[in-house]
Structure 1
């Protein structure tokens, strides 16, 4: 097709066709010239050598004859950063339909890798327990649509990764099918031989000139200090051209005195990064932050915000901030950022997951060994190799997916405070007497194990504060009722069917995580009501079989029990039947929530907001409850379904106004005639923070706005989607054209009376309020989708029956000859518009 298009273009040279556009650039039709241009656009502060490699890798990615691309180089040279930059650029340029990235690591955790890929694909794996089952789901998803181009980026391979076990479709000789693979490793043979890469790109240490520029950019004006110029060259040379260490040293010396600069010349041994890690570690001012770093080290340098909170709170590291969990979490986030600023953790776009560079992990574990007598298991190295003296002294033990297959009958560790055993091994058995000598244990994490009943010796853990039984098979957990001091308890994604009444005896419990416990059908009555100190309760994709409040012989817990939780601040919950709702629920006092009421919702979460409310209601009366109104006032992501009566305007649902709302989705609600209905001669201010508006099956919707709005209304709206709204004739009144200053996406489907997107002056009721601001000529619309609009005659009609859609500098549509549905369409397309569908 490219040859045909090229031929047509040459024949019509006298017609000024600037470009031929697709919705995106399919990988098969992007020329080498285009790929170079694509790969170097808008590079900001990228080193020249890295820009060249980025350019070459992207050229290989879009080559139809290349399927597996490898990036190799020593630790600390910047491979992971390079892959992240490539991922960002590929997504920005829409070279692939889907781009996913996962960190493989030294000890690959297949479930975690599968989870990272699935999350990026929008695929839920919560109900699938086994690695093979999850692999099947991933394979079905990746092979499901052969027209989609998928780029899978796997960072940090240490050895061959069996792609089939992960769920990446491939042939018998490990050749990938239907996807492109971009891999990184320190070892060329892993990429070339084990993974069969077609092309490999070497990332080398920086030459001195680039290393110096990177150092100067990081340290700033300090480099010109008269005391230091003579030292700068020598410090940079000592960094060996490794960007990771250049940045680490520069950050540390940015505020250092002359003595620290001189010390850097002597003590930086970059062959194994030992000295730089130790220097940065001892530079940390607070013992709490140093302990946090050691906790991160013991999980192989990869930790989630949730796990770090549960571990650190259990260890008492945040005791002085622990008035509420929220206070402690805020301080924890600040401390994690401090570790990033000190280059002890890598920077991250997602503040929910953190990672230490691999060249730092072994050094960090060695520091933990010295400071805490901590022991970390490795493949073929663990309990049998450790001496009795080491076990007696140790305060922390970690087995991070290293393949342990046997445990001692009794572990004699009288000083142990933290035990992490993440193995995903259903055949690994914990002996009954295993915990007898661990009376000082504060944190216990047993992940991926199988229990018909928990070991009886667990009752000896009288000081246990945090317990994680994640992704386990659990049949009987009644013994947990004896752990009276427990404050944090997690069953995340575990196969558990019942929470027995004994769990109600954990009255000190502050945090309970039941997310992904899809088989949990029974919570004994009074269990939740007894947890009076609970602050955070997570029941996402979990229990929803609520009993009635006044049952004579209740078999299950009721929503009414939540009223006993006076300290509750975070709640994720689904209540399928509104008959289980009460007048005085404590939801209005929550700081963070995901509340689903009604039987149609799922837990998909496009916008990741901290306060989400999904309501399916037949009657409007329930909306008048005080806690509902308070929740509506604070909600940032609101979904409404099935409202039959009571309101003609969506804005009227919240009496005090939607102060925080950023995303609104309304469907199947015939009572609504307007989004906003303001009184005559009264300028209403509405939806000042709203970013997305989705309307579906609103049979009686007539207008977005009836009456007058202030300029602040809808001033941040970026996305509008409307489907099957049968009465509406104009999407926006003329006086709302200011909205196009920030609008990025419009999608309208099956609105059979829709005549124009913007009403013209002939039908505009509020002519005096028409916005003639010249600034409104600057539009940002990037995607326009129009489907099945049988009555549509124009987008925006002006006096001569033409439509001026975008300004000349961005996107200019001229639709002339006012006849049925755009019979003549002349389009000039600029850089902003990515998709146009009729």
Structure 2
């Protein structure tokens, strides 16, 4: 365990992240994960963070069960775990982190004593930056160059001195001063020199002063207010931007900010958040629509509030003493209590006459005290939240309503999330309310009284369980500007009028919205409806329909000629009446009945069509532009019989990154050769119009498309320079991965390069002949596969190998007889070509391949064939072979010494397999041969099933090259004579052999030999299934 400690803001987290990236890049460990611990530590949350990063779902209820699951998952892996922001002793076993030599932990902390108490073998202090390092960092952030005026550089150097080498201070001050006038720079320096906080510890005075300066330099008052508000959330909390908008709007009145619409407030607050991000006072996170505040910055923000006389009382898991007793809090402006548990108790009568915000966050509804609100008449924001933002559906005991709601005449925002409420008719008394957020709560009905809330601008009843349909009440709330609604009822069967609606997330009955949910963040208008008659929508709903950023339709009828929309994301599922998807302005306006509505697919970024069995065509006019489309998924559209794209449409797909075609069983072509009208102006045979088509494609997947004979034309495949994943599965009629067309038959050279390809999977394509028709091969230089190597004798390294070297996963299964080899270099064509390479250095090709799976390759005779010491599979960890009927050996002398990372080897039903290695290697190597390194230093597991020609697994020499072997299993290999062959000095070897095909093996000597040569062996089993006999050694 390694401990990294240093002052807050010194860059511990940043350094730890960089170490993690480097470790991952160098592949020193199987897994690299990072978890934020924070204070107080939440074991369940830490376990969740680790599990998410390794793709593990923890379904266990108890922390102990989750820990056991994690420990089991890590059992056979080398792992590097970063625990960030540790404040006290942490029991790693309670989390599920194994304590063994294969697990290395790097923890970061502000306290050296934490490193000592955690028994860190290495303790590293992260010092502050020296003067030169600080100056380099500041110049970068403040945009200071050698060409900047010398006066400015002098002032900048003095400011850097005041930052005392603390990275976070340097970054924030530099960012806020960038682009400011010289006078402002001088003023900043003066403030730093004169303002040294005396009420904080000595070591933090300079950082506090620097961060305070960054706050003072914020010209935007809204940004200052939002900055201080971010401090009311717990340390390391993912602060939802929507919370800042809803809570912040209620506070902006004090700044004199009056917003007529929610959209105005949203724009202003979003701009403020961006200012804070640019100033490095907030940090981005990986969670959508969230930001974070560094814990030192948060400390400074709370210190600023105290200095400015607006006390913020913020606590996590512990209630401040003064709130448990009957004390008056004159200056307290905000009370924010988070993660309150069973001992959550407050005084029944809180005396906080200046309180503006009360936020109570509890783990369970029944744990909240009944608070009397009468002493908080200045309150503007009131929030009662169970668990985190967006958690719903698990209601416990009914929630005890706070008393004296009617006294809150100044209340602007009311947020009650995840509560079991019952009767909420009391809401009708809150006439001044502008934001009503009941997300995830249950109640009897939406009270009619909210219709009279003339100032109500935002209504959120998303994922609420409501006894009576809320549609009638909502339909009368003409003042509402933002609506968030999910319901199991049909959407607005009656005519409604919401003339001021600017932003909406409306999800009416749909079976599955899991694909839609992540897309909602950041979208302003979302409409997901099921079972509706699209053609019979009211005029107001047609407007909502056409203005949606995200439009999802399931089980809908009507609108069978087109779906006009300005959507960025269009999702259609099981809409059985759809025959055509049309992008045509004239037809769209005719269908919607309103020519003033501008509807097209020009803004479309993501298109997902599923189970629309009658869909026959995607019909786009020649004027259509799909240049923004990034993702296209078509699944279970059996009505698509001819072609997906015409050349004119394909040429507009310049942004397409992901193309998935699944279960379109009757589709014959992905790209047509000619336009539908026969016009050859844009046919792909002309090449020119398609030069940019698919140039950004990264993922291409074709599954269960049985009429396809090829995917794309070879000429178009030359565009796939960014393709990372190519997957073709269960396409029974596929003859070529890339097919020929008119253009491809012309005598023109085609240079196909796929340098980014990482995953290439061909599975169950029994009719496959090759990657392209033979007639085309003479004109093609491949970088995706190995073919026609004789054409490339003067190239170094050979281009056909180059893309394979970039692959991390390679799997192929065609169920056919044609493929003979995977990696092949022909000596005659490569090295005997007029002695052109005779005097040059020998080639050394390093591959990134980590997994190799070969299934049902019944014609496969070799995996590698060619000169020695050419290819190094230095990253290969796993090999799986299944039903490779003609394969006799797995490793030859050309490759056996180039597998330093191999961990697992499995061969099933390779009926001609005679041994792991070929005879040429066995005859050249011996125990005394010191020229050979250990061939398989990390091989842990070997499993052989149903390989009937296997007579022995190891030679004596090979067995000695497996020092890490732990598990060896040989099952149903009917001709197996012994496990180890050629073990010198053992008497009675001949007698130990049974020599009969299919006979029971009774040779303990051979098993002992394996255990003697492979000292780490833990489990050894030889089993003849036909005779129900076995040998096993623990």
Aligned length: 729
Structure-1 residue corresponding to 2:134: 211
Q: Which residue of 1 aligns with 2:613?
A: 644
Match of 1:694 among 626, 641, 660: 660
Q: What are the within-5 Å matches in structure 2 for residues 28-427 of structure 1?
A: 69-89=2-22, 101-108=34-41, 153-160=82-89, 168-169=95-96, 182-194=106-118, 199-221=122-144, 225-227=149-151, 234-254=158-178, 255=180, 256-267=184-195, 271-272=204-205, 273-300=207-234, 302=237, 303-316=239-252, 322=259, 324-346=261-283, 348=285, 352-371=289-308, 373-378=310-315, 382=320, 384=322, 391-401=329-339, 405-427=344-366
Choose which of 800, 807, 818 in structure 2 pairs with 1:812. 800
1:530 matched residue in structure 2: 476
Compared with structure 1, are the counterparts of its residues 741 and 644 closer, same or farther at alpha carbon in structure 2 (3 Å cutoff)? Answer: same
How far did 1:77 drift? 1.0
Does the 8 A contact of 2:424 with 2:443 survive in 1?
no
- 1:812 deviates by 2.8
Give secondary structure in 1 for the equivalent of 2:417: coil
- In the TM superposition, what whole-angstrom CA distance separates every residue of 1:598-626 from its partner, at most 9, and x where no partner exists? 59xxxxxxxxx974534222221696785
Does residue 732 in structure 1 map to residue 712 in structure 2?
yes
Separation of aligned partners in 2, 1:636 and 1:288: 33
- Could you say what secondary structure the match of 2:370 adopts? coil
Q: What SS does structure 1 have at the residue aligned with 2:322?
A: coil
SS in 1 for 2:363: coil
Q: Which has the higher contact order (CA 8 A, sep 6+)?
A: 1
Distance apart, 1:94 and its partner CA = 6.9
User: Residues of 2 paired with 1:354 and 1:643: CA distance?
Assistant: 39
Whether contact under 8 Å (1:206, 1:241) holds in the other structure is yes
CA shift at 1:497, angstroms?
6.4
Flag the structure with higher helix content: 1
Q: 1:485 and 1:675 mapped to 2: Cα distance?
A: 58
**Greater alpha carbon shift after TM alignment, 747-756 vs 86-95:** 86-95
Aligned to 2:429: 482
The question of whether the paired residues in 1 share the 8 Å contact of 2:722 and 2:756 is answered with: yes
> Alpha-carbon deviation of 1:477?
3.7
Asked whether the equivalents of residues 378 and 402 of structure 1 are also in contact (C-alpha less than 8 Å), the reply is no
User: Which residue of the partner structure matches residue 791 of structure 1?
Assistant: 767
Partner secondary structure for residue 644 of structure 2? strand
- Cα displacement string for residues 648-700 of structure 1 (whole angstroms, at most 9, x for unaligned residues): x3455999564543212111110113553438xx7764434321011111111
Q: Which residue of structure 2 aligns with residue 741 of structure 1?
A: 721
Change beyond 3 A, Cα 1:146–1:420:
same
Find the residue that maps to 1:400 and give its secondary structure.
strand
The reply to whether residue 428 of structure 1 matches residue 361 of structure 2 is no
User: Cα distance, 1:731 vs. partner?
Assistant: 0.8
The structure that has the greater radius of gyration is: 2
Distance 1:276 1:487, change over 3 A: same
Deviations 1:104-136 (A, max 9, x none): 3334567876776676567899xx9xx957996
Name stretches of at least 5 consecutive residues in structure 2 with no aligned partner.
Answer: 198-202, 388-396, 512-529, 557-566, 583-587, 674-682, 785-795, 805-813, 826-844, 855-1034
Give TM-score scaled by structure 1 length.
Answer: 0.74
SS, match of residue 409 in structure 1: coil
Query: 1:546 — aligned with what?
Result: 489
| Residues 665/677 of structure 1: CA separation in 2 closer, same or farther (3 Å cut) | closer
Q: How does 1:464-503 map to 2 (within 5 A)?
A: 464-492=411-439, 494=440, 496=442, 499-502=445-448
Per the alignment, in what secondary structure is the counterpart of residue 71 of structure 1?
A: strand
> How far apart are 1:296 and its partner, in Å?
1.0
CA distance in structure 1 between the partners assigned to 2:749 and 2:163 by the alignment: 59
**Superposed displacement of residue 705, structure 1:** 0.7
The answer as to whether partners of 2:344 and 2:369 remain within 8 angstroms in 1 is: no
Bigger shift: 693-702 or 264-273?
A: 264-273
Distance 1:164 1:520, change over 3 A: farther
Aligned to 1:615: 573
* Inter-CA distance 797–421: structure 2 relative to 1 (3 Å threshold): same
> CA separation in 2, counterparts of 1:439 and 1:715?
62
Match for residue 457 of structure 1? 404
Q: Residue 453 of structure 1 contacts residue 475 of structure 1 at CA under 8 Å; is this kept in 2? A: no
Distance 1:634 1:462 in 2: 44
Q: 1:781, 1:832 within 8 Å by CA — same for their partners in 2?
A: no
Q: Distance in 2 between matches of 1:143 and 1:281?
A: 48
SS of 2:291's partner is strand
Alpha-carbon distance in 1 for matches of 2:753, 2:185 = 54
CA spacing shift, 1:610–1:622, aligned 2, 3 Å: closer
Cα deviations by residue, 1:543-572 (Å, 9 ceiling, x for unpaired): 44224xxxxxxxxx6465776465143325
Runs of 5+ unmatched residues, structure 1: 1-67, 548-556, 600-608
Deviations 1:354-412 (A, max 9, x none): 22222232331122134352231447562526998862343322223466721111222
SS in structure 2 of the partner of residue 463 of structure 1: coil
Partner SS state of residue 580, structure 1: coil
Q: Deviations over 1:716-755 (max 9, x none)?
A: 3221111111111111113312431232221111112111
Q: Which moved more, 1:238-247 or 1:625-634?
A: 625-634
Cα displacement (A) at 1:210: 2.3
CA RMSD in angstroms comes to: 4.5
Displacement of 1:460 after TM fit?
A: 2.6
| Deviates most, 294-303 or 500-509 | 500-509
CA distance in 2: counterparts of 1:151 and 1:247, whole angstroms? 29
How far 1:85 moved relative to its partner? Answer: 2.8
Say if 2:696 and 2:722, in contact at 8 Å, map to a contact too: yes
Q: Over residues 429-474 of structure 1, what are the superposed CA-to-partner deviations in whole Å (9 max), with x where a residue is unaligned? A: 3326x11222332211222286434224223323322222234454
* Aligned-partner Cα distance in 1 for 2:298–2:803: 61
Distance of aligned partners of 1:385 and 1:264 in 2 relative to their CA distance in 1, 3 Å threshold: same
Counterpart residue number, 1:753: 733
In the alignment, the residues of structure 2 paired with residue 497 and residue 122 of structure 1 have an alpha-carbon distance, to the nearest angstrom, of 37
Q: Is the 8 A contact 1:668 1:697 kept in 2?
A: yes
Contact 1:443 1:467 in 2 (8 A): yes
Tell me how far apart the structure 1 counterparts of residues 478 and 468 of structure 2 sit (CA, whole Å).
20
1:362, 1:332 → 2: CA distance? 22
Contact 1:796/1:804 (8 A) holds in 2: no
CA distance in 1, matches of 2:662, 2:718: 24
Q: Does 1:673 align with 2:661?
A: no
Residue in 1 aligned with 2:545? 588
Are the aligned partners of 1:570 and 1:590 in contact in 2 as well (CA < 8 Å)? no
Per-residue deviation, residues 129-163 of structure 1 (Å, max 9, x unmatched): xx957996797688579777776544212234567
Structure 1: distance between partners of 2:764 and 2:72: 30
Q: Is the 8 A contact 2:416 2:441 kept in 1?
A: no
Match of 1:576 in 2: 510
